[in-house]
């Protein structure tokens, strides 16, 4: 059964939302909406660091990686964005080289938007299980560089940060075991993901029902109910969406870890893993606790994973 051997995160310096007003072209009303209503306060930004630098910084903090490089069979890049670096740069290959993982098979998964991190976790577990080597490991890297205006914010939804996460995955183990995973894509045949006009209205219309669908599916696969969850580690899109989701799912808001929404911004598909680090560092997950990681991405992609600490 897939388990998390170690999870690490890298949080760059932050800037206040109003400090991004000019660069993002925000008006005063939008700043107030993001800060007062959505709960965003400071956003992780690293203008002088490349994507490879940010991913390497997260991976370099992983407990259990140093000295075990030969066991890493796969390096999987979870991309929230389709394009994260200008040609011919290849951040993933740079990270693999800097970590001494030259023998590992290296590839990226994408097109689930900010739900791709959980997809990569499922892919890692599936590959390791099929290989049949109990000592093999996979390294998942999550988080993106905001290189263009399109990637820096989602209009009237959230502002994107540049925090990153690294996850060391094993095909077995006694802690942080993956009990259930579900994903759904409610996308368009033409691949358009921009949240404008009718697309934005449709995204709002289906969001809560689609999120509930994957959460219920993941908990059912794990053999528990939504009420049995001890904690939810969400993507840090905004506070309002999770207030509504908590009501729809019947989960007390006290069980949803929302502290990083104001502290980091929405760092693509790295959010659930960043929230895991924060929750474990604060001792919020007891041994045996069931927790949910869940995310939604542009293109109407939704994912949820239930793990046991």
The per-residue pLDDT for 175 is 86
Query: What is the average per-residue pLDDT within 172-179?
Result: 90
Token pair, residue 301, equals 């992609």
Task: Flag the least confident range among 130-134, 210-214, 294-298.
Answer: 294-298
Token pair, residue 172, equals 């077995």
Contact 140, 72 (CB under 8 A): no
pLDDT at 121 over 90: yes
The per-residue pLDDT for 182 is 97
The per-residue pLDDT for 113 is 84
Q: What is the mean pLDDT of the chain?
A: 92
**Within 12-113, where are the H helices?**
21-24, 28-32, 51-59, 91-98
User: CA dist 79 to 18, 107, 236, Å?
Assistant: 27, 10, 16
Residue 286 CA to residue 162 CA, distance in Å, equals 29
Query: What is the average per-residue pLDDT within 173-201?
Result: 78
Task: Flag the least confident range among 102-106, 147-151, 247-251.
Answer: 147-151
Q: For 37-70, write each residue's pLDDT tens digit.
A: 999 999 999 999 999 999 999 999 999 899 999 9
Residue 75 CA to residue 36 CA, distance in Å, equals 39
CB atoms within 10 A of CB 288: 9
Q: For 263-281, write each residue's pLDDT tens digit.
A: 999 999 999 999 999 999 9
The per-residue pLDDT for 54 is 96
**Within 100-258, where are the H helices?**
116-131, 149-152, 197-222, 239-249
Give me the percent of the chain exceeding a pLDDT of 70: 95
pLDDT at 285 over 70: yes
Residue 2 CA to residue 124 CA, distance in Å, equals 8
Residue 258 CA to residue 134 CA, distance in Å, equals 35
Q: For residue 153, name the pLDDT band (cuts at 50, 70, 90).
A: confident
Full-model pTM: 0.94
Residue 288 CA to residue 36 CA, distance in Å, equals 36
213: buried, middle or exposed (CB in 10 Å: 19+, 13-18, 0-12)? middle
The per-residue pLDDT for 245 is 95
Q: Where are the beta strands (DSSP E) in the chain?
A: 3-10, 14-16, 42-44, 72-78, 105-109, 137-142, 153-154, 158-159, 164-170, 177-185, 231-234, 290-297, 301-308
User: CA dist 95 to 99, 100, 104, 211, Å?
Assistant: 6, 9, 12, 33
The per-residue pLDDT for 309 is 97
Q: Give the three-class secondary structure for 26.
A: coil
């Amino acid at each position: 059964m897939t388990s998390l051997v170690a999870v690490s995160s890298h949080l760059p310096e932050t800037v206040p939302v109003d400090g991004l007003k000019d660069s993002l072209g925000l008006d005063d009303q939008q700043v107030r909406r993001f800060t007062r209503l959505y709960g965003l306060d400071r956003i992780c930004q690293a203008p002088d660091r490349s994507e490879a630098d940010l991913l390497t910084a997260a991976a370099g903090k992983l407990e259990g990686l140093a000295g075990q490089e030969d066991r890493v069979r796969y390096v999987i890049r979870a991309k929230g964005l389709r394009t994260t670096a200008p040609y011919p740069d290849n951040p993933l290959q740079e990270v693999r080289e800097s970590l001494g993982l030259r023998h590992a098979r290296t590839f990226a998964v994408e097109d689930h938007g900010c739900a791709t991190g959980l997809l990569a976790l499922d892919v890692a577990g599936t590959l390791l299980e099929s290989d049949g080597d109990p000592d093999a490991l996979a390294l998942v890297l999550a988080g993106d560089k905001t290189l263009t205006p399109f990637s820096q914010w989602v209009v009237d939804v959230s502002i994107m940060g540049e925090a990153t996460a690294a996850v060391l995955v094993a095909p077995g183990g006694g802690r942080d075991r993956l009990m259930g995973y579900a994903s759904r894509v409610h996308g368009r045949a033409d691949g358009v993901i921009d949240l404008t006009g009718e697309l934005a209205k449709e995204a709002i219309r289906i969001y809560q029902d689609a999120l509930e669908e994957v959460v219920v599916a993941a908990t059912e696969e794990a053999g528990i109910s939504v009420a049995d969850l001890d904690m939810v580690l969400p993507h840090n899109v905004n506070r309002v969406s999770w207030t509504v989701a908590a009501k729809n799912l019947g989960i007390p808001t006290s069980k949803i870890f929302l502290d990083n929404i104001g502290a980091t911004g929405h760092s693509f598909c790295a959010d659930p893993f960043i929230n895991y680090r924060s929750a474990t560092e604060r001792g919020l997950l007891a041994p045996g606790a069931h927790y949910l990681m869940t995310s939604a991405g542009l293109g109407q992609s939704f994912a949820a994973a239930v793990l046991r600490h």
